[in-house]
Amino acid sequence: MLNSFQTSGNSPGPERCRVGILGFGTVGSALARRLTGPRSIPSLELSHICDRRARDKRARQPQPIAELAWTDRFDDLLAADVDVIVEAVGGAEPAVEYVRGALLAGKSVVTSNKLVIAHQGPALLGLAERQGRQLRYEAAVGGAMPIVRALGDGLAGEQVTRIDAILNGTTNAVLSRMDADLCSIDEAVADACARGYAEADPSADLDGVDAAAKLCILCMIGFGLRVQPAQIDTRTSARILPEDFRKAGLRGGTIRQLAHAEYDRDRSTLVAWVAPTFVRGDSVFARATGPENAAVITGAFAGRITMTGAGAGGDATAVAAIGDLIAIARDRAAIVPVPVLTEPETIKGLTDLKLAEAV
Ligand SMILES: NC(=O)c1ccc[n+]([C@@H]2O[C@H](COP(=O)([O-])OP(=O)(O)OC[C@H]3O[C@@H](n4cnc5c(N)ncnc54)[C@H](OP(=O)(O)O)[C@@H]3O)[C@@H](O)[C@H]2O)c1
């Protein structure tokens, strides 16, 4: 007979980790709903929301979100008794300063912002370490596809040599729609907007700027390299025509926006680009449709590791942010107040010595 096991889910521990959300948009609001809904996480307690239009947004929220502490001042969030701040405002500034300020105030930080990590990741991660806090950013790359943790933890024993990935859900939604219907790019963009996969101006997505920032982060984790987004060669997907898909189909494949990075450690050379690329019809990339992301990570020892998953959307991205929050909640040292170290006046030993006598 098999033993049966009963699990109680995450242990809430003696105290719950208190969370404040900064930016109540697509990601921030989806996260708030998860953390306060019927399938909330026992170890996490959402207590504060900071948004520049806090008053308006709060008025439109149902309970229990409306009864949380809301503010439109970041300083209020810093002064609040939250352990972790989730940065979900987007853009490089003032988000970088918010993340820095939160770490300096002794908070751990979860960010979904690729620009913050691509531009200032190493400096902010260094600051987090010095502060004894955590800075986590799974949601910044790949949406719910857990590529940050896979590269940084799961494949820490690998020597990663190459990364090929679809990292922009908007562009993938547009190109896969053109692929399926042989429609114009304008029609495909309109369809992606209507489904909530694209903003009115998706140029940063189609031009490869968004994927380039994410690729920088993967180069940092996978290769240990500091690469700036401007150093990544990008080619736009905005000029792809239905005819290009017809030709790709005749060759047995299709077109996707790929981010590619290959690092030759012996020669110390990195090749990195984002571009619309021919992919074989039987590849993981051709099968990624709508806002899906996909990645193939190649290593010297384990060969190819493949992953796919929802690359965008509030609920999917909230999954990644919650994973980071749970990891922080498990690390009590990252949320309890930093101990104040004081110099002892005497050293307790066989005999009590004055500190000055002991050294
Ligand atoms: N959406 C996705 O599918 C997705 C997926 C992965 C990662 N991300 C990343 O997640 C972050 C947030 O994306 P999002 O789609 O949630 O953006 P969003 O819908 O525009 O939400 C951002 C929110 O922050 C507020 N805000 C902006 N600046 C602020 C400031 N200085 N102080 C306080 N609040 C401020 C905005 O207020 P207003 O309403 O006034 O604009 C808005 O409510 C971005 O870095 C994005 O790249 C998003």
Per-residue pLDDT of 11-31, as tens digits, reads 444 589 999 999 999 999 999
Q: For the structural domain made of 17-143+315-334, what CATH number should be given?
A: 3.40.50.720
- Please state, in angstroms and rounded to a whole number, the distance separating the CA atoms of residues 91 and 89: 7
Please state, in angstroms and rounded to a whole number, the distance separating the CA atoms of residues 308 and 290.
12
pLDDT at 8 over 50: no
> What would the pLDDT profile of 146-172 be if each residue is shown by its tens digit?
999 999 999 999 999 999 999 999 999
Q: How many residues are recorded in the chain?
A: 359
Closest residue to atom 18 of ligand 1, CA basis: 25
Instruction: CATH 3.40.50.720 in the chain: give the residue spans.
Output: 17-143+315-334
Query: Which of 107, 214, 348, 354 does the annotation list as catalytic?
Result: 214
Could you tell me if the CB of 113 is within 6 A of ligand 1?
A: yes
- Could you tell me the fold of the domain covering 147-312? Dihydrodipicolinate Reductase; domain 2 (3.30.360)
**Per-residue pLDDT tens digits for 300-348:** 999 999 999 999 999 999 999 999 999 999 987 766 666 565 666 666 6
Rounded to the nearest 5°, which phi and psi values hold at 217?
-65, -40
DSSP 221: H
pLDDT digits (tens, 9 = 90+) for 219-270: 999 999 999 999 999 999 999 999 999 999 999 999 999 999 999 999 999 9
The per-type count for the chain, helices as H runs and strands as E runs, is 14, 14
pLDDT tens-digit series, residues 29-77: 999 999 999 999 999 999 999 999 999 999 999 999 999 999 999 999 9
Q: What is the structure's pLDDT at 345?
A: 66
Q: Residue holding tokens 């042989």? A: 182
Q: Give per-residue pLDDT as tens, 96-139.
A: 999 999 999 999 999 999 999 999 999 999 999 999 999 999 99
Q: Start-end ranges of CATH 3.30.360.10 in the chain?
A: 147-312
Asked whether 195 lines ligand 1 (CB < 6 A), one says no
- In this structure, how many other beta carbons lie within 10 angstroms of the beta carbon of residue 353? 13
**Cα angle: 191, vertex 112, 29; to 5 degrees:** 70
Helices assigned H by DSSP within the chain: 26-36, 54-59, 74-79, 95-104, 114-131, 147-149, 169-181, 185-194, 203-206, 209-223, 242-250, 284-287, 314-330, 355-358
